[in-house]
Amino acid sequence: MERENWTSRLGFILAASGSAIGLGNIWRFPFVTGTNGGAIFILIYLAAITLLGYPILVSEMSLGRTTAKNPIGAFKKIAPNTGWPLVGALGVLSGFVILSYYSVVAGWGMSYIFKSLTFTANNNFPQLFEQHIGSLVQPIFWHGVFMLLTVVVIGAGIVNGIQKLVKYLMPILFIIIILLIFRSLTLNGAARGLSFYLKPDFSEITLQTFADAISQAFFTLSLGMGAMITYGSYLNKKESITESAVYVIIFDTLVALLAGFAIFPAVFSFGFDPASGPGLTFITLPAVFTKMPFGNFFSLIFFVLLTIAALTSSISMLEVVVAFLVDEYSWSRKKASYLVGLLIFLVGIPPLLGYSKLATINFLGMNLLDSYDWITNTIFLPAGGILTAIFVGHIWGSKQAAIEANQNSRLKIGLIYEILLKYIVPLAVLAIMLISIWKTLS
């Protein structure tokens, strides 16, 4: 079976950026920023995404293109008859587990598109959200709808599915977010939100700030889950990996920062708490929107934005598992997409029920959805990133990876990339990973 390729560099950049841009930017980044002191977190996050994220991103893309394989096949091709393909298997597992609960949260966002039409200032938004996630039928229905959309796109293929979709969705995403920013910045009291967002307070720095910044960098760039290895495997030799990776990071970071500009001025304008955690999106923001002129309209387009961003990421996570089955077992793309999609939907039921029927079950003091999130973001993704850095840096060879990445590129990487990849990235990520585990267990 002939392997598909992206038809252009722009197609690849939009698809890879779409993989990176998702709930991590619109849902996760604002509340993590809010709970970590605002501007100071952003500075540390930018350092993490540049010094740790970029080398791994380039490495994963290079590994994918040089092997033209899925994550497991890529490690197997370079290091046959060793245990290294297990690192690829960890990536496939990570994408599978993350998508199972990611789809649940995306389903909440989809349901709020329609709920937005009836929002009023009299709504009790904490109660409204608790009623939604605590019910049985609604969350399952929207989880299923979102997974079905994801499956349909992946089943259509790389060019006719992923590339065609992101070509339209990514520009729409930017238009919506700019519209929201314009409205947010014109509110009375918006300056207080801008100060929180742009003026660093160094007294807010803790070890948790660094841990959350690195975790956010991995989550938002889809690192450690095999997505960028898979997308890189469809990239032809004429395209520049080093330049494409820069564009992906720029687009991803830009959307996250723009989301902050849309959210924090509005939150401060109406006197809400920026450190309200995950509920910032589903409790605080709807309350903010109802206080604005044309609030229902802006609420509607915000949750459309959230859903678009979630979909461009979910398709990359499903593609990781589908590519493995197509490559290694010669499954048809449609068969792999629909069967894996159904299985992921079923695995997402327990965390979905963690707010209702399974609310009494917890792990390390967390409900099931938070447990899925903690395991993947604190253990799976960092471990995948560390082992990929070690593999590319020491087994395949950082020089060989640099040669692959530098093909047809005006932006050349060399010694600094090799030092970061071989020593700085594994040690820094391992240290933060162990600290995060210790803090949770202690």
Residues listed for the chain: 442
d(CA 176, CA 166) in angstroms, rounded, equals 15
Choice among 239-243, 266-270, 279-283 with the minimum mean pLDDT: 279-283
Query: What is the identity of the amino acid at 391?
Result: F
d(CA 167, CA 138) in angstroms, rounded, equals 31
Report pLDDT digits (tens) over 73-124: 999 999 999 999 999 999 999 989 999 999 999 999 999 999 988 888 778 8
Residue 14 and residue 170 in contact, taking contact as beta carbons nearer than 8 Å:
yes
Residue 178 and residue 21 in contact, taking contact as beta carbons nearer than 8 Å:
no
Residue 388 and residue 232 in contact, taking contact as beta carbons nearer than 8 Å:
no
Q: Considering the chain, what is the average pLDDT of its residues?
A: 87
Domain ranges within the chain, ordered by starting residue: 9-441
What's the predicted TM-score (pTM) here?
0.87
* Token output for 163: 């590339």
The DSSP H or E segment spanning 384 is helix 381-390
Report pLDDT digits (tens) over 147-159: 998 998 887 765 5
d(CA 240, CA 220) in angstroms, rounded, equals 22
Report pLDDT digits (tens) over 316-355: 889 889 889 988 898 998 899 999 999 999 999 999 999 8
Task: Let me know if 137 is exposed, middle or buried by CB neighbors in 10 A (0-12, 13-18, 19+).
Answer: exposed
Architecture of domain 9-441: Orthogonal Bundle (1.10)
* CA distances, 25 to each of 241, 249, 251, 429 (Å): 23, 12, 11, 21
Residue 116 and residue 300 in contact, taking contact as beta carbons nearer than 8 Å:
yes
Question: Residue 167: pLDDT above 60?
Answer: yes
* Positive/negative CA dihedral, 354, 348, 99, 427: positive
Query: What is the identity of the amino acid at 57?
Result: L
